[in-house]
Amino acid sequence: MGRGGGKPGAQSARGRKQTWQEWLDDYEAASECISKHNVEERCTDAGGLTRISNFLPEFVAEGILSVLKSIPDSKWNETSAREDYRQNNISHSFASVKQAKGLDAVIRLFTLVRPEGLHAFSAAKYCKRDHIAPHDDRAYTQVQLDSGRVITTSRDLAIIYYLTKDWKEEYGGVLVDLEDAAAGPSGRRYVPQWNSVVAFKVPRYHAVTPLATDRPRYSIFGWFLLPGKRYPLYTGDDLEEHKQRTLRAKHGQQPERKGKAAEEGEEGVEEEEEDGGDEQEVQAAPRSRAGAAGSSGRAGQPASKRHHGAEPEVVNSSNERHINRHAAAADAAAGDAAMVVTSVQAGSRGRSMHPEPSGGSVVRLPGRWQGRRKHMCI
C-alpha cells in the first residue's frame, strides 16, 4: 500500500487533505479519535459490553478495508475445529492474520484504546459457513517481556472492529451476546455494522452465527491483556458445566452448584507481581489440548502450527514496568519499541489461539508513534 495512495480525507495542519495512511501515522489525530470514544468507560457503564458506531473517520475505515481486501488468500491462516468438550474445542472456523502489508499501522491504532496495555490483535475474514460456537474468550497468554522474562497474562478486554458494509441479519455472521440479562437466554444479536466497534470485558459468553452469504466478513479483533491469572480456565466436562451454570445464573434461573468448577467460582485471581516473574509457573503451565482432534488447519502446515493451544502471538512493550499501567498517558512509554513474544494457552474456549508463527522486528515509527509500545504482527 503506497503512501498517499488513498482518497484524501481529514484536513491536515497545513491545509491539505490527509490520506488515510497519513491519518494512521498522525499520532495526535489517531489518539484524539480513539480516546474520545472512552471505550472502557462505556463498556463498564453498559454492564460489560458496548457497541460504538462510526468509530473512525469514514475515509480511514475505507482505507483499513482496502488493507484487508488486499491481503492475498495465501496469507490468511484458516483455523477450524469441531465441537469437542473433552479436547477443549468449541466449533469454529474463520481465517485470521497478524502481519500483512499495511496491517501494522491498523493494529497500532486499536492499541490506543488502552495505550499502555499489552495486547494481541489480528485481522479476521469469515467466509460462508464460518462461525464460532458459544465461548467466553478466557485464555492465558504467555508474554515474554523485553528483559526476556516470561509472564502469564489473561485476556481482559475484547475489541472487535467491523468492516462489513450494508450487512444484513440474513447474511449471518451475527455476534450474539449471551450474557445480556435483558435479552434473555437467546442473547442480544449484533449484526456487524460497518465502521463500528463492539467491546466487552472478558470473560463473557458470546457466539458468531454461521455466515450464509458469499460476501466476506472482515474485522479487526483482539484483546488487551492483564498480567496474572485473572480467572480460572475450564476444560473437559467443566467447560460445558461452567457455560450452563453461567448462563442460567445470568438469566434468572437457579444455577446448578456442583463439581469442582462451581466451587472455584470466579474469584480465583492470581495476580503476578509487577516486578516478580513467575517463570516456574509459566514453564509448568499445561499446554492446551485444544485443536488436537477435529482440527483442520491450512494444508501443509505442521500440526504444531495448527494447534490452538500454544501458538505464539507477538506484541510489543516499550517498557515492561508499565505493564500494569494501562491507563497512563499515551506518550509515557518512551524508549525503544521492543518486541514481546507471547504464546496463548487455551482458555475455556477452544478457539483462543491463532495459528501463526512468531518472530518480528523493530520498525521505526513516524512522529510520536516512536517510542510507543508497538504490536508486531508476523
Ligand X SMILES: O=C(O)CCC(=O)C(=O)O
Q: What are the Cα distances from residue 156, in Å, to 41, 198, 199, 201, 353?
A: 14, 14, 11, 6, 15
Contact segment (CB under 5 A) with Fe ion among 20-28, 135-143, 193-201, 300-308 equals 135-143
Provide, rounded to whole angstroms, the least separation between the CB of residue 352 and ligand X.
Answer: 8
Which of 137, 241, 278, 313 is close enough to bind Fe ion by CB under 5 A?
137
CB of 349 to ligand X, least distance (A): 7
The least CB distance from residue 175 to ligand X, in Å, is: 4
282 binds ligand X (CB under 6 A): no
Residue 89 binding partner per list Fe ion, ligand X, none, with a CB distance cut-off of 5 to 8 Å that depends on partner kind = none
243 binds ligand X (CB under 6 A): no
Name the CA dihedral angle for 211, 217, 219, 221, rounded to a multiple of 10 degrees: 20
From the CB of 347, what's the least distance to Fe ion, in Å? 10
Q: Does 138 bind ligand X (CB under 6 A)?
A: no
Min separation Cβ 244 and ligand X, Å: 19
Place of cell 497545513: 14
Which positions from 204 to 223 touch ligand X by CB under 6 A, shown as an x/- string? Answer: --x-x----------x-x--
Q: For residue 126, what are the contacts with CB-CB under 8 A and spacing of at least 6? A: 94, 95, 173, 208, 211, 216, 217, 219
Residues 6+ apart with CB under 8 A from 236: 85, 86, 88
**Binders in 337-376 for Fe ion, by CB under 5 A:** none
Contacts of 151 (CB under 8 A, 6+ apart): 142, 143, 145, 227, 272, 277, 278, 282, 323
Q: Does 156 bind Fe ion (CB under 5 A)?
A: no
Least separation in angstroms between residue 127's CB and ligand X is 13
221 binds, among Fe ion, ligand X, none (CB under 5 to 8 A by kind): ligand X
Task: Output the residue with the shortest Cβ distance to ligand X.
Answer: 175
* Residue 61, binding choice from Fe ion, ligand X, none, Cβ under 5 to 8 Å by partner class: none
350 alpha carbon, distance to own chain's centre:
14
Name which of 358, 239, 235, 241 is nearest 288 in CA terms.
235
Residue 182, amino acid: A
Using CB positions, name the residue nearest to Fe ion: 137
C-alpha cell at 251: 438469566
Residue 130 is a binding residue for ligand X (CB under 6 A): no
Which of residues 100, 106, 113, 160 is near ligand X by CB under 6 A?
A: 160
Question: What's the closest the beta carbon of residue 138 comes to ligand X, in angstroms?
Answer: 11
Helical H runs in the chain?
20-25, 27-36, 39-45, 58-69, 103-110, 236-250, 259-264, 279-284, 303-306
Rule CB under 6 A: say whether 97 interacts with ligand X: no
SS3 label, residue 315? strand
Q: Based on CB atoms, which residue is closest to ligand X, 117 or 222?
A: 222
**CB-CB contact of 357 with 376 (8 Å):** no
| Total residues belonging to the chain | 378
CA distances from 4 to 8, 27, 71, 207, 368 (A): 8, 17, 19, 38, 19
- 116 vs 137 by CB, closer to Fe ion: 137
Q: Which is nearer to Fe ion, 27 or 94 (CB)?
A: 94
Q: How far apart are CA 186 and CA 177, in angstroms?
A: 9
Enumerate residues 38-97 that contact Fe ion by CB under 5 A.
Answer: none
- The angle at the Cα of 121, spanning 297 to 187, to the nearest 5 degrees, equals 80
| Number of other residues whose CB lies within 10 A of the CB of residue 77 | 21
Our finding on whether 137 is near ligand X (CB under 6 A) is: yes
| Piece in contact with Fe ion (CB under 5 A), picked from 2-10, 109-117, 132-140, 316-324 | 132-140
Q: Which does 125 bind (CB under 5 to 8 A by kind): ligand X, Fe ion, none?
A: none
Give dist(CA 323, CA 222) in Å, integer.
Answer: 17
| 39 is an interface residue for ligand X by CB under 6 A | no
> Taking CB under 6 A as the rule, does residue 175 contact ligand X?
yes
Report the interface residues with ligand X, using CB under 6 A.
132, 137, 160, 175, 206, 208, 219, 221
Report the interface residues with Fe ion, using CB under 5 A.
137
